[in-house]
Amino acid sequence: MSQATNQPVFDVIVSGAGLVGASVALGLADRGFKIALIEPTEPKHSPLPSHDERTLVLNAASLNVLDNLNLLADDLIRVPVRHIHINRQGGFGHLHLHARDHADLIGADTDPEAPYFGQVVVARALGQCMLDRLKNHTNITLFCPQSLTRFIDENHRVQVTLDDGHTLQGRILVGADGNQSPIREQLGLMIEAHDYDQRAMVFNVAAERPMPETAFERFTPHGPLALLPQANGRYGVVWIDQSQRADEAMGWSDDVLMAALHDRFGPRLGAFTQPSPRASYPLIKQHSPQVVSGRVVLVGNAANAVHPVSAQGFNLGLRDVAGLIDALSFLTSDDEDAVAKLGELGDDRLDQALLNYQRTRADDQRATIRYTDTLARAFAHPASFVRLMGGLGLAAHAASSSLTRRLVRAAMGFREPVASLAKKHTARGTHHGHV
């Protein structure tokens, strides 16, 4: 990556180089935009916050986005999910999904390796692929370790001040700075928030009798439990519990944790062994109805944070990335004269492009939040009647092919309007795209 200079002017300034921020920076840089990428954590000394051992399930739309952004490196280990088993602990209601039954929804007719619902990757490995691509990118200047301390949005420009006193100017500021987004706070944007009083404990284990390419989600009275297939018979575990109980579980010995996992999941996979180190993080629901203010736009968790049930969080963030690139695509062209003319007329059109981004992403953001929030609340509700209704819902989906297809299509990330990067075989390559 090129070295920072005093008073540089950029097309887009991105605050936050996590998985979502790096994706939007690379996607725009590949299209010719000059990007400033601000990140407070130095990758050489510690992993970036989103580049941890978390297991990510990339749905079909996300795989398309990452592939079209050239972010699926050949050496990135990806385990396909062809079967999904969903059930309730201590009650009826189950749903078994098989990718071969939904081939028309997930692109099996065009992908020789399909059908699969998605692929499982480790966040750290995907983050390393992104960092490798960021290195020496001629259109990206990295300011790291640096933090954005304040910004001024005026006269079709955003001026950003870093914690070392340097200032940057850009035509757009993208806030990819996480749940506690300082950019969102400075804008004073309203958020709709709910603290679930739950934490997710994440680790991975070996299973005695692994079921290849099969993911499990088990709803328990204390919270969901997900087991996601990894290589070599291992599973990524997402253990969700009330905050105090999760904190206690973080202190258990490995033997106690493995026994508790077996009790909570059941005997299907046999004994669990060889647990990895654990990490834990709090769970919240957070929705920003307004994600654009002037020339500032929020993406990923800075805009919306969802419960990890059904593994929709990072997938939602990648759809934000694809939507923002789509919204700015009118500024890309292989005709340099056309780009120059757009530059002369670009201010009004750029303002409209950002508003179009907000408009086109709103339905998908609200629907994903509503879907994950409903699942999280229904199956962990203290009232047995509510949990019973959750079981009835699973049974209804199992009995109705039309309901199941709606569930699968939404989970694959293909709610309309579908961004061009979320579709297969999107044309790739470097384009002119200065704003």
- For position 311, what pLDDT does the model report? 79
- Do the bridges between strand 35-38 and strand 9-15 make them parallel or antiparallel, or are there none, so unpaired? parallel
In this prediction, residue 78 carries a pLDDT of 95
Distance CA 347, CA 330 (A): 12
In a domain, 44, yes or no: yes
Helix (H, G, I), strand (E, B) or coil at 246: helix
Task: Give me the number of domains the chain comprises.
Answer: 1
Q: How many Å apart are CA 53 and CA 121, to the nearest integer?
A: 10
Helix (H) or strand (E) holding 130: helix 123-134
Specify the CATH number for the domain of residue 304.
3.50.50.60
Answer whether residue 435 is part of any domain: no
- Give the model confidence (pLDDT) of 68-101 as tens digits: 999 999 999 999 999 989 887 755 457 888 888 8
First to last CA, the chain: 21
pLDDT at 347: 78
Q: What is the DSSP string of 335-385?
A: -HHHHHHHHHHHHHHHHHHHHHHHHHHHHHHHHHHHHHHHHHHHHT-SSHH
CB 394 within 8 A of CB 86: yes
Q: Is residue 167 part of a domain?
A: yes
Q: Is residue 249 part of a domain?
A: no
Torsion on CA atoms 139, 143, 148, 153, rounded to nearest 10: -30
Instruction: Residue 378: give the domain boundaries.
Output: 9-54+62-77+121-193+284-422
Type of residue found at 13: I
The predicted pLDDT at position 214 comes to 96
pLDDT for 342: 35
Residue 209 within a domain: no
Q: How far apart are CA 173 and CA 284, in angstroms?
A: 25
Quick one: pLDDT at residue 298? Answer: 98
Residue 128 forms part of a structural domain: yes
One-letter amino acid for residue 404 of the chain? T
Q: Give 150's DSSP letter.
A: E
pLDDT of residue 180: 93
- Token pair 């990923």 in the structure block, residue: 300
Quote the CA–CA distance of 352 and 299 in Å, as a whole number.
17
User: What does the pLDDT profile of the chain (435 residues) look like in tens digits?
Assistant: 544 445 568 999 999 999 999 999 999 999 999 999 999 988 654 455 544 568 899 998 999 999 999 999 999 999 999 998 988 775 545 788 888 887 776 655 445 556 888 999 999 999 999 999 998 899 999 999 999 999 999 878 999 999 999 999 999 999 999 999 999 999 999 999 999 999 999 999 999 999 999 999 998 888 889 999 999 999 999 999 999 999 999 999 999 999 999 999 999 999 999 999 999 999 999 999 999 999 999 999 999 999 888 778 899 999 999 999 999 876 554 444 434 433 444 678 889 999 999 999 999 999 999 888 887 776 554 444 333 444 444 444 344 455 566 667 667 788 889 999 999 864 444 444 555
Q: Which pair of structure tokens corresponds to residue 426?
A: 């999107």
Quick check: is 115 in a domain? Answer: no
Is 272 a member of any domain? no
